[in-house]
């Protein structure tokens, strides 16, 4: 996972500390550290049922109802975890200001090519565009939608807004929508401020 922690505790999809940022970031943020610098790694995507719950939770971005029917099994989970690993590596490189590794970029692009898609006009040309895909497998289509969201983010105007939380022990990413936001969550900001306060008192 590239987090520096080998063993992950299983977490719940609805218990993620940061969610609703951006579809690609939300996938990467399914692994997080609970407890700060001396905490432990938590993974909310351990079983296929976890992936199904994550997909349903992110219905607005993924539009799962328009994807082909089918189960999300171990193979689909493995594909999502590989995309998550590659996206974490790419995001880490982007935030650091350097180029991402070709192998990680290839994973993202490969997910896109596996399910080429397009958007169609809805009936009567009223309402939102309707996503369509050549692929008949549900997992491949949904995977491609996450990869497409990542490409749009990292090649668009919001690329420079992608930030890695600077709180010690945190491995989450967020979109800095306004200049005053410095942390992925209020809990990370509070933890850092408390640590600074404690250090100042210790020095005094």
DSSP for 69-96 reads P----HHHHHHHHHHHHHHHHHHHHHHH
What range does the domain containing 100 cover? Answer: 8-203
From the number of C-beta atoms within 10 Å of its C-beta (0-12, 13-18, 19+), residue 91 rates as buried
Answer yes or no: is 1 within a domain: no
Answer yes or no: is 71 within a domain: yes
Backbone phi, psi, residue 69, to 5°? -70, 160
pLDDT in tens, 42-94: 999 999 999 999 999 999 889 999 889 999 999 999 999 999 999 999 999 99
pLDDT confidence bin for 131, thresholds 50/70/90: confident
Answer yes or no: is 3 within a domain: no
Answer yes or no: is 34 within a domain: yes
Answer yes or no: is 2 within a domain: no
Q: What is the pLDDT of residue 91?
A: 97
CATH number for the domain that contains residue 75: 1.10.3300.10
- With beta carbons less than 8 A apart as the criterion, state whether 115 and 140 touch: yes
Mean pLDDT score, 123-152: 88
- For residue 33, the tally of other CB atoms under 10 A from its CB is 23
pTM: 0.87
The tally of domains found in the chain comes to 1
Least confident of 71-75, 115-119, 174-178: 115-119
Q: What is the mean pLDDT of the chain?
A: 88
Answer yes or no: is 190 within a domain: yes
> How far from 144 is each of 69, 87, 136, 169, CA to CA, in Å?
15, 13, 12, 31
Given the structure tokens 């983010």, which residue do they identify?
153
Q: What is the pLDDT of residue 140?
A: 94
Residue 136 has pLDDT above 80, yes or no: no
């Amino acid at each position: 996972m590239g987090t520096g922690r080998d063993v992950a505790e299983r977490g719940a999809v609805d218990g993620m500390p940061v969610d609703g940022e951006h579809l690609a970031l939300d996938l990467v943020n399914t692994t997080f550290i609970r407890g700060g610098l001396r905490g432990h790694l938590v993974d909310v995507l351990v079983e296929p049922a976890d992936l199904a719950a994550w997909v349903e939770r992110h219905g607005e971005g993924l539009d799962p109802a328009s994807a082909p029917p089918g189960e999300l099994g171990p193979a689909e989970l493995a594909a999502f975890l590989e995309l998550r690993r590659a996206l974490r590596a790419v995001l880490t490189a982007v935030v650091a200001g350097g180029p991402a590794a070709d192998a990680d970029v290839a994973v993202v692009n490969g997910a896109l090519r596996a399910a080429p898609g397009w958007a169609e006009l809805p009936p009567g040309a009223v309402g939102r565009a309707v996503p369509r895909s050549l692929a008949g497998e549900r997992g491949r289509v949904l995977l491609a939608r996450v990869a497409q969201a990542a490409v749009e983010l990292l090649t668009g105007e919001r690329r420079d807004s992608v930030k890695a939380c600077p709180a010690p022990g945190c491995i989450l990413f967020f979109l800095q929508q306004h200049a005053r936001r410095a942390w992925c969550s209020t809990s990370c900001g509070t933890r850092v401020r408390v640590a600074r306060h404690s250090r100042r008192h210790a020095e005094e």
